[in-house]
Amino acid sequence: MPNKPQNFWKFSQELYDREGVAAACLALQEEYQLDVNLLLFCYWQGTNFGVVETELLRQVIDFSAEWRRHVVQPLRDARNWMKLNADNNEQFQLVRAGIKTEELAAEKYQQERLASIASKFGSSVQRKSKRKDLKKDIEQNIDRLLEALGITRNRQLEDRIKAISSALGEQAIANR
């Protein structure tokens, strides 16, 4: 059965809703300017399809960098500015809520595009692997991503990633 882009979105939502994941993702985003959708892609790809190919990784990074720069980041900047300059005016709050909704829609579109790009690389048939292989594949995907982005590992970064990996836990097996 071919991969449907929404599968990545569903996977991400389920993982993000687990205890500690949102905080870890937001910290990685703020402290390392790491595109959380790319990190989640590494988990999704490793869980379902194995190690991400070099060319696939390059393509998802290239798309994500442009999308983030031109769409997601301007929305996020506007929402954050409004948060810091809060106004109790009802219209102001409606505008901010609308921007937040559009930011989420932009992130969903990004994930759908990443899944679509992945499907062109054969990420369309789920593999059958043992749990330790999943963990190793995810770790390798994250290593490749961090290296490609020029992000140096340190204790704090490792702790954030470990929090996400721990939360993934049984979800990886349950959804297979």
pLDDT of residue 121: 86
Q: Which two tokens stand for residue 80?
A: 């954050």
- Residues 103-128 pLDDT 10s: 999 999 999 999 999 999 875 555 55
Ranges of the chain with pLDDT below 50: 1-3, 173-176
pLDDT of residue 173: 43
pLDDT of residue 67: 98
Domain locations along the chain: 5-119+129-174
pLDDT of residue 132: 63
pLDDT of residue 4: 54
Report the C-alpha gap between 27 and 29 in whole angstroms. 5
Selection from 11, 33, 7 nearest residue 21 by Cα: 11
Q: What angle do the packed helices 90-119 and 54-67 form, to 10 degrees?
A: 160
pLDDT of residue 130: 55
| Alpha helices (runs of H) in 33-130, residue ranges in sequence order | 36-48, 54-67, 73-84, 90-119
pLDDT of residue 61: 98
pTM of this prediction?
0.89
Selection from 133, 104, 123 nearest residue 44 by Cα: 123
pLDDT of residue 129: 54
Q: How many CA atoms lie within 13 A of 82 on its CB side?
A: 19
